[in-house]
A and B are shown apart, each in its own frame.
Chain A
Amino acid sequence: DAGVTQSPTHLIKTRGQQVTLRCSPKSGHDTVSWYQQALGQGPQFIFQYYEEEERQRGNFPDRFSGHQFPNYSSELNVNALLLGDSALYLCASSLDQGGYEQYFGPGTRLTVT
């Protein structure tokens, strides 16, 4: 049973560029959440997708957007990259039952130069 997978593992981008990160949820899960983990900090909730729609959103600007596909996989897009966007981006999947445990992927390390 495959767990949550994310691609790519590492990414280096320049300020102002755009980036797309990808996530495949754990088998049987239908809900995907994205988190940003800056160095030395806990993960911060970006948004959550269910039934191909954004269901909840954290305190992140509109530069952060996402998408969920019919097979439940998801993408995180960040436009107009800033140096402060450098972080580990984590994807987590869960079942749509509200408040239940989330399974995390290994993350994508984004460096903005």
Chain B
Amino acid sequence: AQSVSQHNHHVILSEAASLELGCNYSYGGTVNLFWYVQYPGQHLQLLLKYFSGDPLVKGIKGFEAEFIKSKFSFNLRKPSVQWSDTAEYFCAVIHYNTDKLIFGTGTRLQVFP
């Protein structure tokens, strides 16, 4: 079955620390990749996306992600986190032939001042 794995379930960091959240998917073939963020009390928002081209994509709020096709990975990074980055982060994949967005289980990030 097609799946998305997020290995970090809960991450706790201090402000200014660097962040990397792992995401692996089980599809073969062409995929579109996404990271969504859910701030406390808010709805899911798109953080960044990869469709094709440069495998290093930049999103909002200083986030970036790197698509490594050989590793089926799409890890999310931020050089220096802020308290306001406290949220739930979801990796998601669409196989280009479908519109079924498959989500990982999410990573809860807590950033302390």
Contacts and interface: CB of A to CB of B under 8 A. Distances in A.
Interface in A63-102: 90, 92, 94, 98-102
B96 A99 contact: yes
Nearest to A48: B99
Q: Which residue of A35, A56, A100, A101 has the most chain B CB atoms within 10 A of its CB atom?
A: A101
A99 B90 contact: no
A67 to B, nearest CB: 18
Interface stretch (B62-70, B77-85, B101-109): B101-109
Contacts of B95: 99
A105 B43 contact: yes
Interface residues of B, number: 26
A43 B99 contact: no
A55 B32 CA distance: 19
Interface in B6-60: 32, 34, 36, 42-46, 49, 51
Interface of B: 4, 32, 34, 36, 42-46, 49, 51, 90, 92, 94-106
The 7 closest A-B pairs by CB, nearest first: A42-B103, A104-B44, A106-B43, A99-B94, A99-B32, A99-B96, A45-B100
Given A94-B99, A104-B45, 19 more contacts: A33-B101, A35-B103, A41-B105, A42-B92, A42-B105, A43-B44, A56-B98, A56-B99, A56-B100, A90-B44, A98-B97, A98-B98, A98-B99, A99-B32, A99-B98, A101-B46, A101-B49, A103-B46, A107-B43
16 contacts: A35-B101, A42-B90, A42-B92, A42-B103, A48-B99, A48-B100, A55-B99, A58-B100, A90-B43, A90-B44, A99-B32, A99-B51, A99-B94, A99-B96, A106-B42, A106-B43
